[in-house]
Amino acid sequence: MGKIYVNKVKVFVVILLFIGICFLPSSFVSSTANTQSIINDQDTLNFASEGTEYWALLVAVGVYADDPQQNRPLMLEEVDDLYDVLLQSGIWSEDHIKVIKGEDATVSNIFSGLRWLDEMEDEDDFSLVFFTSHGAPLSYDMFPLDEEDGVDEFLVSYWGFAYPGLYIIDDHLNIMLSRLESQGVCLIVDSCYAGGFNDPPFWSKNHLVNFQPLKKETKAKEWIEGFGGELSGQKRVVLMASCEDELSYSGGFAPYLIDGLRGYADSNMDGIITAEETFYYSEPRTSRQNPTMYDGYEGELPLVYLDAPRENTINSNNQLGITWEKNIGSTFNTGFSPENSIIKGYVKDANTDDPIEDALIYIWGIGNEWEFFENETTTDINGFYSINVPSCRCRLTVYADGYCGSESGFLEIGENELLWVNFSMYPHPPENSIVCGYITDEDTGEPIDGANINLFWEGDADQFYMNDTVSDITGYYSINVAAGKINLEVEANDYFRKYLEEINIADYETLWVNFSLQPRLPEDSVLKGYITDEETGSPIDNARVRIEWVDMNLGHSYHNETYSDSSGFYSINIASGELYLDIRKQGYDYYDPYRHDNDETNILWFNISLEKRTIEVDILKPLRAFYINNNRLMPYHKARIIGPIDIEAAVYEDWWGQGSAEKVEFYVDNELKATFSSEPYIWTWNEVKFGKHTIKVIAYDDEGIITSKEIEVNKFL
């Protein structure tokens, strides 16, 4: 979720837009399509005090106008899963939860949702606001100058990339939340730089003395008038997916949060899942980012009451027995986008500027957080390299004999782009120091023969190198190293790995570092099952089944994997504990980031049906906007067209990467207008029409499977 910069003029536009939104007629700003607010006749169970209700606004942007490379479909999956898990508790009902997602997640609709929440809740209630989108910092602190680091943060709306400035600023969100009268408010922000959304609810006359609402007799005026008064006290809990200075990754935080609400976070076993318990469950399981929490609620803020004890998600009854029974729509993609972009550059000696020949360039990339790829090349006599890549986020690492390694950091590259990345490498420093020690069994104290000791060295100028050795029959190891900072990792068969980070070692120093490894728990259970095609029921062979075993109490985890045979059958030994499964097969989709438990010592069956990956089609033009003679003037709540317009479609494989379609058809009011067998998929609609019409685009893949997208428009001329 990359960084975005805006200038002060754009921010001023945001402020005016924000004020304007507050005064838009309710009939306009509340026109949020596809929000889930259906009345449920189920009585709210009397778990809380009499009269207490639970209200939620769940926002997931996930798709972005004019910039599909920024799409993050996992956001849409996760908000649906959060919605479902809330409804499993009797205190939540459908008419108390509003979901705004995808192209409906405009600034006006989001503020409309916040107004809805304010109108519905009262001082007896609890409110939950969940927001997932791209996030980024501004370059300064807006009024009321409340940021210790001098920087405000914002979240990108559906139109945020097409019209920089259509963002949700943290100050604006803080004002909205401070309007809530609820006895407890929980805000969850899953985005990059989310830690910046921890503003305490302190708004008062002093902060808003210069704010004058417009003189307009509207419901919005009544709603905003209270800005000058003393507002909410310390009654808010904010759960943030990352620190305010780091990136966040799709699928990196929300699945653990949802697992916590399923019941796993109930640490005191009282049948109540609180916001604080959810954070303490999610935080240690989240990797690559560091969740944070602001807690201004006295006591603990309840979010879910469990109707019954949580059951295991894997059982031994030769069937898939799931409390969380949902074959989640996938964004996992084992295929690759076409490598139509290029990264190139030069590798030179940092001291002499001479080119380095035969340097190894290794690239590791991620398409949609689940589409992994790797590649490598070497430099020529001039130190030059060039490597083709798909649209992705990636990292380059360079190695050369006699030199420390060098890394690029994460890079973003789109379709058909050229990116230059040059490297300067430092000569390898003299290894005149020694790290040595003994590797032993933690339980018995016996030496461990053949343990692998991996060393990572880092110098003052961001140079690094790696080295390794193994322990001998006495458990002893010794490895030469240069002065600097080192990390050590030790692993051995049937033992949990151990790490030791940021150890400083001086020139000519001998540093003793001993390790005692804890034996793994016995793998006295077997996980087995069949992997089949969801549509045909046919067995799928050579599908990779990878498990991650976790014990958070011991602070240990490990991975194991196997493959299905010609009958689709797989079998893998597992220990009792917390499990996560990852299934990969070329041409198929599977996504299940949620926790499964094995508490028994027996054979556990877990049958899996995989959905065949198909192409996706989207309409890039027109969008919900106002068009005159093929030019978009401004966003609008529905598509309005005057004059001719180019209807533009795009075909993807699971949202990321260009897909291949056998043909693409364009329809107006179910009448076929044009057919294309290759890109670009653009048809000019220049008929004189009036009133409502439906534009539909249908794409066919090479197996005849179709996918479609349509939009309703109003055309004038």
Query: What mean pLDDT comes out for the span 36-41?
Result: 32
Is there a shared CATH topology between the 433-517 domain and the 615-716 domain? yes
Superfamily classification of domain 433-517: Carboxypeptidase-like, regulatory domain (2.60.40.1120)
Q: Is the pLDDT of residue 464 over 70?
A: yes
Share of the chain above pLDDT 90, in %: 58
| Identity of the residue numbered 515 | F
Mean pLDDT of the chain: 82
- Kindly indicate whether the domain formed by 525-612 is annotated with CATH number 3.30.750.24: no
Q: Is the pLDDT of residue 276 over 80?
A: yes
Comparing CA positions, the residue from 713, 704, 635, 636 lying closest to residue 667 is 713
From residue 632, alpha-carbon distances to 624, 635, 642, 697 in Å are 10, 8, 10, 20
Residues 397, 409: Cα–Cα separation, whole Å? 9
Query: What mean pLDDT comes out for the span 165-185?
Result: 89
Residues 390, 202: Cα–Cα separation, whole Å? 47
- 144 vs 163, residue with greater confidence: 163
Q: Is the pLDDT of residue 658 over 50?
A: yes
User: The pTM is what?
Assistant: 0.74
Q: Which of 407-411, 481-485, 560-564, 572-576 has the lowest mean pLDDT?
A: 407-411
Q: Is the pLDDT of residue 656 over 60?
A: no
Q: Is the pLDDT of residue 321 over 70?
A: no
Please tell me the predicted confidence (pLDDT) of residue 374: 82
The CATH code belonging to domain 341-425 is 2.60.40.1120
Query: What mean pLDDT comes out for the span 147-166?
Result: 82
Residues 546, 560: Cα–Cα separation, whole Å? 6
In tens, the pLDDT along 487-501 reads: 999 999 999 999 898
Please tell me the predicted confidence (pLDDT) of residue 148: 58
In tens, the pLDDT along 546-570 reads: 999 998 887 888 889 999 999 999 9
Q: Which strand (E) or helix (H) includes residue 257?
A: helix 254-259
Q: Is the pLDDT of residue 682 over 80?
A: yes
> Where exactly are the structural domains of the chain?
8-247, 341-425, 433-517, 525-612, 615-716
Token digits of residue 351: 């001291």
The CATH code belonging to domain 8-247 is 3.40.50
Q: 21 near 107, Cβ under 8 Å?
A: yes
| Identity of the residue numbered 604 | L
The CATH code belonging to domain 615-716 is 2.60.40.10
Residue that the structure tokens 């120093």 belong to:
509
Q: Is the pLDDT of residue 620 over 90?
A: yes
Residues 52, 92: Cα–Cα separation, whole Å? 11
| Phi and psi based region of residue 161 (left: phi greater than 0; alpha: psi -120 to 50; beta: remaining) | alpha
Does residue 519 have a cis bond before it (omega within 30 degrees)? no
Per-residue pLDDT band at 602 (split at 50, 70, 90)? confident
Query: What mean pLDDT comes out for the span 690-715?
Result: 93
- 20 vs 285, residue with greater confidence: 285
**CA 174 to chain CA centroid, nearest Å:** 23
Residues 61, 55: Cα–Cα separation, whole Å? 20
From residue 154, alpha-carbon distances to 69, 208, 254, 660 in Å are 19, 20, 19, 36
Q: 165 near 6, Cβ under 8 Å?
A: yes
Q: Which of 271-275, 335-339, 632-636 has the lowest mean pLDDT?
A: 335-339
Angle at alpha carbon of residue 58, lines to 57 and 61, rounded to 5°: 130
In tens, the pLDDT along 395-450 reads: 899 999 889 988 888 788 888 899 999 999 999 889 999 999 999 999 999 999 99
